[in-house]
Structure formats: C-alpha cells, structure tokens
C-alpha cells in the first residue's frame, strides 16, 4: 500500500503544503472533497491511496475503486432495485475514492448513476477523485455537458483541487519522453 512517506515531493513540490494539510484528515469531518488532476504517471493514484491510508489511520472508513468499478457496483444495485439502500450504506463510509475518472467514457445510464453517487455524498461525506482530464474534458467522459456541469459543481463546491504536473514518474531515468505510444510497453515493467 502506497503511503505519503513513500511519496517524493521533490517531483511535485507545489502540492506539498496542500497534501500536508489533507493528511491530518480535517477535510473528512467537514465532508470536503479532494480532486487530483494530472497526466499519466504523475502520482494521482499514489496520493489518493496514501490519503486513504491516512484517513483510515484517523479512524475513518474508506473504500477505493476505479470509476468503472463504482459504476458496475451502482448498476448492480440499481438493477436489484436497491440503489437508495446502497447509496445510504456508502454514506456510512467517511471517504470514497474514485480513481481514473476519464480513461473510459460512461454510458448515459452509468453517468446518471455516478451523478447520484456524487449527489448523495454532497455535504455529507468525502470523495477523492482522480482524473487525467481537466474539468473541461469531463463532459465528454459523461456524454452529457449538463450532467457533468452539475456534478463538477457539487464536487468542487467544497474541495481542494490539486494539479500534478510534469513527466510520468514511471518513465523517470529511462531516457525516454512520455509519449502516449510508450505507455503500453512501460506498463509491463511497472512493479
Ligand atoms: N512523487 C512520487 N514519489 C514516489 N513515487 C511516485 C511519485 N509519483 C509517482 N510515483 C510512482 O509512480 C507510479 C505511477 O504513479 P501513479 O500510479 O500514482 O500515477 P497516476 O497519476 O495515477 O497515473 P495514471 O493516470 O496512469 O493512472 C506508482 O508506482 C507511484 O507509486
Ligand atoms: Mg492512476
């Protein structure tokens, strides 16, 4: 499990103060959110996991899954006619982490279910979301500008937005640029 102690802030110096403040877990008691944005390999999943570990150490209940996995879970609940119960159950978790918003587009139904998750937690319980896309690209992911706008509005109302920058940490020291075509070959060597 990745922790904040493992994170090399020299690679992302601008976010060090914000991450330090978030590590104390204060955002959870206020139901605030965290959004980690940035290109592949810049540490979004690492930091989301590490903040989850910190939250658990502070006694909060934490769940982690990718956006696609969350949608599958919500779809299953919806089909079984127990979406309200599932959303109520999830609200008992102080922190839900949604990794990889943006890599795979959502179907219309999936986007609507994801909106309900965000809406259900709004001003009650925290979310950490990671995305390779800026908010302006989320309309394309959710297939609907209005749903994306309403969702972003709720997420960002009480949120810290951290933007990670630079080249992929996965490609460090390999003497290669972070070209999109390189990713599939480097992924295989990742530990
Ligand atoms: N600043 C850092 N210090 C230490 N390790 C890092 C740092 N940034 C990234 N890493 C490591 O590099 C690898 C890639 O980071 P991570 O998976 O967090 O990237 P990501 O931003 O989630 O990328 P993607 O968008 O492709 O999912 C992981 O093994 C992670 O632990
Ligand atoms: Mg990731």
Whether the predicted pLDDT of 29 surpasses 70: yes
Domain boundaries, position 99: 4-187
CATH number at 68 reads: 3.40.50.300
Ligand 1 atom closest to Cα of 42? 21
Question: What integer pLDDT is reported at residue 68 of this predicted model?
Answer: 96
How far is residue 28's CA from residue 138's CA, in Å, rounded to a whole number? 25
pLDDT tens track for 48-94:
999 999 999 999 999 999 999 999 999 999 999 999 999 999 999 99
Question: What integer pLDDT is reported at residue 183 of this predicted model?
Answer: 47
pLDDT tens track for 126-185:
999 999 999 999 999 999 999 999 999 999 999 999 999 999 999 887 776 655 654 444
pLDDT tens track for 31-52:
999 999 999 999 999 999 999 9
**Total number of domains in the chain:** 1
Cβ(11) – ligand 1 distance below 6 Å: yes
Whether the predicted pLDDT of 96 surpasses 50: yes
Question: What integer pLDDT is reported at residue 105 of this predicted model?
Answer: 93
Question: What integer pLDDT is reported at residue 173 of this predicted model?
Answer: 77
pLDDT tens track for 128-142:
999 999 999 999 999
Cβ(33) – ligand 1 distance below 6 Å: no
Cβ(102) – ligand 1 distance below 6 Å: no
């Amino acid at each position: 499990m990745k922790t904040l102690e493992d994170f090399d802030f020299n690679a992302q110096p601008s976010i060090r103060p914000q991450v330090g403040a978030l590590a104390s877990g204060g955002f959870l008691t206020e139901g605030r959110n965290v959004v980690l944005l940035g290109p592949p390999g810049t540490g979004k999943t690492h930091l989301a996991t590490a903040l989850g570990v910190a939250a658990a150490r502070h006694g909060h209940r934490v769940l982690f899954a990718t956006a696609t996995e969350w949608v599958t879970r919500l779809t299953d609940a919806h089909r079984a006619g127990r979406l309200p119960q599932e959303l109520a159950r999830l609200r008992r978790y102080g922190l839900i982490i949604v990794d990889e918003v943006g890599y795979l587009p959502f179907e219309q139904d999936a986007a609507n279910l994801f909106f309900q998750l965000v809406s259900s937690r709004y001003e009650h319980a925290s979310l950490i979301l990671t995305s390779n896309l800026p908010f302006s690209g989320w309309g394309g992911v959710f297939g609907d500008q209005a749903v994306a706008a309403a969702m972003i509005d709720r997420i960002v109302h009480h949120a810290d937005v951290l933007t990670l920058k630079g080249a992929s940490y996965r490609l460090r020291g390999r003497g290669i640029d972070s070209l999109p075509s390189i990713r599939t070959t480097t992924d295989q060597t990742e530990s």
